């Protein structure tokens, strides 16, 4: 269960403080899938980053199960990401120096939950069996995003966070990747929180919410 | 154009550290190069002044075959026969504990080409000058360089007195006199040198009409013609190797500095690619863009060049006294310890800065010219690019190694020696990235966990960005190990050799014949003297080289201790006869002499029965029995006396000698002081080398620091995914630090074999060609441990700032990597 309560975040800019989140609230049940939409600058990515423990909130609570993420220090948040959360970004953000196979296994090995058979299944279902020995820059955009999703799911996280995962892909590829993601999420039973601009992609998820001026509506 | 330049320059405002890196690289490269050039120019200027003093290379001399003094009646005889000759008497006096060369001349008959004979040179003895009369007539006047007066603590107000108690003619400062030389009338010189009626040579004026009377008919004294260029050329030949060594070091430091420049320029170019493409898209032609980049570069090169030349001057000023001492101690070359520089040196320094900047940026400039405006769509395949680069680097490295082997097998000469050295160093530098890649690949294949796997894989990826700095470090380390091994090897060999060679407890030198005989008779009667080892000596020329022939007595002190490089079993008994001699290693090397070869020294044709090391002596040497030398060279003078006594009696015997014969510090020295003096001269030479070593290492450290600093910004996309995956910034910072240290460690470990190869080349090729002696090859593992530790420390210090930056980087900066507008 993910619970976000009265979350606030303000960035300092040369032009003065810029409030991005102004008391955001959100509840997401185990195994639930939710798409978060909103205009540019509405705070979607910021909320996702705070839930992932990539940044610290100014006020409010973020609970994943019994853990209050907002109260954790930097090292504890890193540990949380490593063991319980998977993150997928629009830019894929694969590790350029490692092969596809090593990228896929990276997070699971880091968390100490590497499972050979699950890894094989993931590789096969993501259609990456033939490119395991290649490096990220030798793959197409769609293939790279599938590696990023595989990496995030390889450790069987409780929560999968995705930020515009299909933003860099064409519509057809994007929808295919999305369908694959949802299948695998269902297979692992993890909770999915996705940030997207696309109404059609959002429509593929169980719930949709909209973020407007720092609040979920 | 101004608008384009302004746009280009805006990059440096946003990346000031890159600008600093570029300017620091240019400054250091120019500074070390021009500093070394300043040292060489100053020394060569002193040699040239010395050569021009009596007319330069065109002047010929008449001398005795053994270089001994002859009667001045030869001058009168030759003048009567129509020969336009001028008398010269040369010798040494000691003043205030230092040796001063005295040249006695006759300004009236001096060749017109001589610096001292030309009024235009501003000399004090021009015929129009007032000083002319006082120069020629008693109590005479002598000319000396102002720097020498200061060096010797002399003044024009008080008379200077030699250590033998002779008052020198009043001193006058003269611009055109070489440092360390005292010029006076030949009559005054005969008096000062106590050589009345004697001359050392007669100069033949090349611009005067030659006499038709043959030399043999013109004078009864058996004089021979020698070219002045032969005499002045000796100094150039002997010191060439010293200057070539300095130049090689300067060039190495220049190259290492250029690595920084190359690194900074390439990075700036890569980061400005989008800007350059936008400019092209806005209608700026490729040619205009390239010219603008070139103008920007030359402006920066000018700034770096000016600061570099200024810094180079300061380096030269700091090193000049040590260089002057080394040249004086090793070759007897008198070089001014203070620095005076010409405008050509300044412009040459600036030129080198420009050439260096152009060389370092040629690839980027060519890329800018040929760059298609729409290249951004291409994906950057770094791996293929790196593989290609590693392959061609390996190929060139192998080709250079092959070239070094071919040069070693078929080449000859000092320049070839340095070419081998350069080929080895560049081959080593080019082979470094492929070798590191191999090591990292092996590490990756043995890695256990995911972080460890990433550590090795990412280190390999980082190679492209760091390889230039690592190459600079490899070159600096290899040069340090190579030179360090040679220097420490020389120090060890030299010290061991001195211990064996200096068997007498007291040495007496600079004795004239009368004094020599008196001292010998006196010492012969003393009970505290166990053995007397007198020598005689004469200077000759063999195939154009200056050679000193020394005569020694047969004694166990020599038989038991004198170390030989090669010898016949019966050498000592053979030397007792007229037909056998020992030769120094450098003479054997120069004249390609082997055991049992026979050489011609005038009428004497002895056989070589032993070849001995004679480290530190630039001249060749022949040692033979004292009676043999006296027989073949009746004019041979006293060559000093070695006195053996018990250790307890050294002090009292020296005191007795001082009381009895009024010996001065320079005429009498005990074994310990002589060893300390000899070692001191070499330590001065090594001090210059050590300073250049440290500077080169410093440059490599700066290269690494600049590379890491500029790369740290570009590393964020590689690090952010790991951070997002659950590694803390602290852990990432430690991993980054670990990678840099690991790369430095591997580089240092690879530098050890390369350094030993450099040392071998210096010892077996360069030293043999330059000095004529080959040292035994000693290795000093403590040096390697020290240098590996220094490399790690350099890497640690260089990566400290980027590491701290990463450790405390704001999450926002890392999150930006994941944002759309990356």
Q: Of B458-472, B648-662, B762-776, where does mean pLDDT reach its minimum?
A: B762-776
Cα of B735 to nearest chain A Cα, Å: 15
- How many domains does chain B contain in total? 4
Of B666, B692, B724, which closes a domain? B666
Contact B457 A52 (CB under 8 A): no
A104-131 mean pLDDT: 89
Residue B627: the pLDDT is 92
Please tell me the predicted confidence (pLDDT) of residue B405.
Answer: 93
d(CA B400, CA B518): 64
- Sheet-wide strand order for B545-552: B566-567, B607-612, B580-584, B620-625, B545-552, B529-542, B637-645, B506-508, B668-670
Do B319 and B272 sit in the same domain of this protein?
yes
Is B516 within 8 Å of B641 (Cβ atoms)?
Answer: yes
Q: How far is A90 from chain B (nearest CA, A)?
A: 7
Question: Burial of A54 by CB count in 10 Å (0-12 exposed, 13-18 middle, 19+ buried)?
Answer: buried
Do B316 and B180 sit in the same domain of this protein?
Answer: no
User: In chain A, what residues touch B718 (CB-CB under 8 Å)?
Assistant: 95-97
Residue B710 has pLDDT above 80, yes or no: no
Last residue of a domain, one of B666, B685, B717: B666
Question: Does B24 reside within a domain?
Answer: yes
* Per-residue model confidence (pLDDT) at position B822: 33
| In a shared domain, residues B396 and B262 | no
pLDDT at B175 over 90: no
How does residue B181 score in pLDDT terms, banded at 50, 70 and 90? confident
Residues B659 and B683 in one domain: no
Q: Tell me the pLDDT tens digit for each residue of B404-455.
A: 999 999 888 778 888 898 899 989 999 999 999 999 999 999 988 889 999 9
pLDDT at position B294 over 70 = yes
Structure tokens at B361: 């940026």
pLDDT of residue A34 exceeding 90: yes
User: Which segments of B502-565 does DSSP mark as H helices, in order?
Assistant: 513-524, 556-561
How far from each other are the two terminal CA atoms of chain B, in whole angstroms?
Answer: 30
Subunit contact B450:A102, Cβ cutoff 8 A: yes
Task: Note whether B451 and B336 are same-domain residues.
Answer: no
Q: Chain B residues with CB inside 8 Å of A74's CB?
A: 728-730
Tell me the count of A-B CB pairs closer than 8 A.
101
Lowest mean pLDDT among A18-27, A201-210, B62-71: B62-71
B340 or B420: whose pLDDT is higher?
B420
Do the Cβ atoms of A135 and B383 come within 8 Å? Answer: yes
Contacts (Cβ under 8 Å, ≥6 apart) of B250: B32, B33, B35, B36, B37, B692
Chain B residue numbers with beta carbons less than 8 Å from the beta carbon of A96 are 382, 461, 717-718
Q: Band of the pLDDT at B750, cuts 50, 70, 90?
A: very high
Residue where a domain stops, chosen among B645, B666, B687: B666
Return the CATH number at A126. Answer: 3.40.50.300
Length of chain A: 217
The tokens of B729 are what?
């910034």
B-chain residue closest to A134, CA distance = B383
B727–A95 C-beta distance less than 8 A: no
B395 pLDDT more than 90: yes
Shared domain for B698 and B793, answered yes or no, is yes
Among chain B, residues having any CB pair with chain A shorter than 8 Å are 379-383, 449-451, 453-454, 457-458, 460-461, 717-718, 720-731, 811-812, 814-815, 817-820, 822
Which residues of chain A lie closer than 8 angstroms to B454, CB-CB? 95, 97-98, 102, 106
Domain that holds residue A194: 2-216
Tokens at A73, concatenated: 């220090």
- Nearest C-alpha neighbor of B618 from the set B543, B547, B568: B547
pLDDT mean over B277-298? 82
Is the domain of B466 the same as that of B567? no
Q: Which residue of B has its CA nearest to A83?
A: B726
Chain B residue with minimum CA distance to A77: B726
DSSP for residue B736: H
Question: Does B410 fall in a domain?
Answer: no
In angstroms, the CA A16 to CA B441 distance is: 49
Same domain, B687 and B743: yes
CA pair distance A202, A166, nearest whole angstrom: 11
Q: How far is B436 from chain A (nearest CA, A)?
A: 15
CB B108 within 8 A of CB B255: no
Query: What letter does residue B62 receive in the DSSP assignment?
Result: E
Among the ranges given (B95-99, B217-221, B311-315, B482-486), the one the predictor scored with the smallest mean pLDDT: B95-99
For residues B185 and B290, membership in a common domain is answered with no
User: Where is average pLDDT lowest: A43-57, B364-378, B524-538, B609-623?
Assistant: B364-378
Mean per-residue pLDDT for B561-571?
89
Instruction: List, for residues B75-97, the tens digit of each pLDDT value.
Output: 999 988 888 889 998 887 878 77
Chain centroid to CA B686? 9
Spatial distance between the Cα atoms of A60 and A57, rounded to a whole number of angstroms: 7
Co-location of B538 and B644 in the same domain: yes
Choose, out of B455, B725, B816, B821, the residue to mutate when testing the contact with A (most A CBs < 10 Å).
Answer: B725
Query: Using the beta-carbon criterion (under 8 Å), do B724 and A93 form an inter-chain contact?
Result: yes
Nearest residue of B to residue A52, measured between CA atoms: B724
Q: Please say if the pLDDT value at position B18 is more than 70.
A: yes
- Alpha carbons B427 and B421: distance in angstroms, whole number: 10
* A chain contacts of residue B450, beta-carbon cutoff 8 Å: 102, 105-106, 109-110
pLDDT class of B508 with cuts at 50, 70, 90: confident
- Which of A94, A119, A141 is closest to B722 using CA atoms? A94
Q: Is residue B412 one of the residues assigned to a domain?
A: no
Closest-CA residue to B514 (of B189, B164, B199): B164
List chain B residues with CB under 8 Å of A83: 726
Whether residue B601 is predicted with pLDDT greater than 60 in this model: the reply is yes
Residue B345 falls within a domain, yes or no?
Answer: yes
In which band, very low, low, confident or very high, does the pLDDT at B129 lie, cut at 50, 70 and 90? low
Structure-block tokens of residue B120: 């235009």
Which residue from B461, B724, B729 is facing A97, i.e. has the nearest CB? B461
Split into its structural domains, chain A has a count of 1
DSSP-based three-state secondary structure for B153: coil
| Range picked from B113-122, B277-286, B320-329, B412-421 for highest mean pLDDT | B412-421
A107/B725 Cβ within 8 A:
yes
Flag whether residue A167 sits within 8 Å of chain B, measured between CB atoms. yes
Q: Do B84 and B214 fall within a single domain?
A: yes
Residue B465's pLDDT band (cuts 50, 70, 90): confident
Alpha-carbon distance of B518 to B516, in angstroms, equals 6
Please write the tens of the pLDDT for every residue from B24-58. Answer: 888 888 888 888 888 888 777 777 776 677 766 67
Contact B182, B149 (CB under 8 A): no
pLDDT score for B120: 38
Cite the beta strand spans of B521-675 per DSSP E. Answer: 529-542, 545-552, 566-567, 580-584, 607-612, 620-625, 637-645, 668-670
Residue numbers of the domain that contains B353: 1-50+235-378
Q: Grade residue A141 by pLDDT with cuts at 50, 70 and 90.
A: confident
Indicate if B39 and B71 belong to the same structural domain: no
Mean pLDDT score across all residues of chain B:
82
**What ipTM describes this predicted complex?**
0.79
Cα B106 to the chain's mean position, in Å?
A: 37
Distance from CA of A146 to the nearest CA of B (A): 15
| B229-255 confidence digits (pLDDT tens) | 555 555 665 566 667 767 777 777 777
- Does position B653 have pLDDT exceeding 60, yes or no? yes
Give the per-residue pLDDT at B229: 56
Q: Do A11 and B812 touch (CB under 8 A)?
A: yes
pLDDT of B473 above 90: no
């Amino acid at each position: 269960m993910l619970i976000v309560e009265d979350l606030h975040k303000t960035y300092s800019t040369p032009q003065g403080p810029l409030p991005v989140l102004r008391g955001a609230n959100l509840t997401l049940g185990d195994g639930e899938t939710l798409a978060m939409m909103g205009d540019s600058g509405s705070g979607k990515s910021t909320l996702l980053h705070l839930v992932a423990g990539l940044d610290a909130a100014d006020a409010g609570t973020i609970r994943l199960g019994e853990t209050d993420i907002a109260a954790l220090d930097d090292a504890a948040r890193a540990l949380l990401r490593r063991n319980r959360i998977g993150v997928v970004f629009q830019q894929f953000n694969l590790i350029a120096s490692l092969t596809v196979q090593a990228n896929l296994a990276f997070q699971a090995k880091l968390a100490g939950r590497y499972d050979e058979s699950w890894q094989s299944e993931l590789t096969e279902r993501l259609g990456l069996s033939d490119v395991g020995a290649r490096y990220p820059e030798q793959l197409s955009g769609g293939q790279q995003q599938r590696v990023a999703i595989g990496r995030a799911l390889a450790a069987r996280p409780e929560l999968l966070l995705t930020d515009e995962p299909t933003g860099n892909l064409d519509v057809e590829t994007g929808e295919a990747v999305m369908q694959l993601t949802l299948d695998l999420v269902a297979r692992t039973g993890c909770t999915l929180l996705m940030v997207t601009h696309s109404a059609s992609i959002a429509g593929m998820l169980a719930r949709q919410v909209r973020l407007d001026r720092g609040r979920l509506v | 154009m101004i608008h384009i330049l302004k746009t280009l320059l805006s990059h440096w405002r946003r990346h000031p550290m890159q600008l600093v890196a570029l300017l620091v690289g240019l400054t250091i490269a120019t500074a070390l190069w021009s500093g070394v050039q300043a040292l060489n120019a100053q020394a060569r200027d002193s040699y040239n002044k010395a050569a021009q003093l009596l007319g330069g290379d065109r002047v010929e001399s008449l001398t005795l075959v053994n270089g001994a003094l002859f009667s001045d009646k030869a001058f009168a005889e030759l003048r009567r026969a129509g020969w336009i000759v001028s008398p010269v008497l040369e010798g040494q006096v000691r003043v205030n504990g230092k040796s001063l060369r005295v040249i006695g001349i006759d300004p009236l008959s001096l060749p017109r080409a001589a610096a001292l004979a030309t009024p235009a040179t501003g000399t004090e003895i021009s015929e129009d000058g007032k000083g002319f009369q006082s120069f020629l007539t008693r109590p005479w006047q002598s000319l000396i360089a102002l720097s020498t007066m200061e060096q010797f603590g002399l003044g024009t107000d008080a008379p200077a007195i030699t250590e033998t108690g002779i008052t020198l003619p009043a001193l006058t400062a003269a611009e055109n006199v070489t440092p360390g030389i005292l010029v006076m009338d030949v009559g005054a010189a005969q008096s000062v040198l106590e050589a009345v009626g004697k001359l050392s040579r007669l100069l033949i004026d090349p611009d005067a009409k030659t006499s038709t009377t043959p030399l043999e008919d013109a004078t009864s004294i058996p004089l021979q013609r020698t070219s002045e260029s032969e005499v002045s050329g000796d100094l150039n030949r002997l010191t060439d190797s010293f200057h070539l060594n300095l130049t090689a070091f300067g060039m190495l430091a220049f190259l290492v500095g250029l690595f920084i420049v190359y690194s900074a320029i390439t990075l700036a170019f890569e980061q400005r690619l989008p800007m350059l493409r936008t400019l092209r898209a806005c209608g700026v032609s490729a040619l205009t863009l390239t010219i603008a980049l070139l103008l920007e570069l030359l402006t920066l090169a000018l700034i770096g060049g000016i600061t570099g030349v200024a810094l180079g001057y300061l380096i030269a000023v700091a090193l000049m006294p040590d260089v002057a001492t080394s040249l004086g101690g090793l070759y007897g070359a008198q070089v001014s310890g203070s620095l005076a520089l010409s405008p050509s040196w300044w412009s040459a320094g600036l030129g080198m800065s420009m050439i260096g900047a152009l060389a370092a940026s040629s690839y980027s400039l060519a890329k800018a010219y040929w760059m298609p405006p729409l290249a951004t769509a291409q994906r950057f395949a770094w791996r293929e690019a790196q593989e290609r680069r590693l392959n061609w680097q390996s190929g060139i490295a192998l080709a250079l190694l092959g070239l070094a082997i071919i040069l070693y097998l078929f080449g000859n000469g000092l320049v070839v020696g340095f070419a081998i050295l350069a080929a080895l160093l560049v081959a080593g530098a080019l082979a470094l990235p492929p070798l590191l890649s191999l090591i990292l690949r092996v590490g990756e294949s043995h890695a256990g966990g995911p972080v460890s796997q990433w550590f090795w894989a990412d280190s390999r990826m980082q190679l492209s960005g760091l390889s230039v700095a690592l190459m600079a470090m490899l070159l600096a380390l290899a040069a340090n190990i190579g030179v360090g091994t040679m220097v420490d090897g020389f120090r060890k060999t030299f010290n061991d050799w001195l211990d064996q060679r200096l068997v007498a407890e007291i040495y007496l030198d600079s004795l004239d014949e009368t004094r020599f005989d008196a001292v010998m008779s006196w010492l012969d009667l003393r009970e505290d003297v166990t053995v007397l080892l007198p020598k005689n000596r004469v200077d000759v020329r063999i195939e154009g080289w200056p050679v000193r022939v020394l005569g020694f007595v047969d004694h166990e002190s020599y038989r038991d201790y004198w170390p030989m490089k090669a010898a016949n079993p019966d050498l000592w008994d053979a030397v007792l006869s007229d037909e056998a001699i020992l030769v120094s290693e450098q003479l054997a090397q120069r004249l390609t002499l082997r055991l049992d070869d026979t050489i011609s020294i005038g009428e004497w044709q002895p056989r070589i029965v032993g070849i001995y090391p004679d480290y530190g002596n630039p001249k060749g040497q022949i040692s033979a029995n004292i009676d043999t030398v006296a027989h073949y060279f009746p004019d041979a003078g006293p060559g000093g006396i070695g006195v053996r006594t018990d250790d307890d009696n050294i002090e009292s015997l020296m005191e007795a000698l001082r009381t009895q014969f009024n010996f001065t510090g320079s005429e009498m020295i005990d074994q310990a002081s002589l060893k300390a003096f000899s070692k001191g001269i070499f330590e001065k030479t090594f001090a210059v080398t050590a300073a250049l070593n440290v500077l080169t290492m410093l440059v490599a450290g700066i290269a690494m620091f600049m590379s890491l600093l500029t790369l740290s910004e570009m590393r964020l996309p590689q690090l952010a995914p790991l951070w997002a995956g659950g590694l803390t910034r602290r852990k990432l910072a430690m991993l980054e630090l670990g990678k840099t240290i690991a790369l430095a460690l591997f580089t240092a470990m690879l530098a050890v074999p390369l350094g030993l190869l450099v040392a071998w080349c210096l010892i077996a090729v360069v030293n043999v060609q330059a000095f004529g002696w080959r040292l035994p090859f000693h290795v000093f593992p403590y040096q390697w441990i020290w240098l590996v530790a220094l490399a790690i420390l350099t890497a640690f210090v260089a990566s400290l700032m980027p590491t701290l930056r990463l450790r405390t980087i704001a999450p926002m900066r890392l999150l930006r990597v994941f944002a759309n507008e990356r």
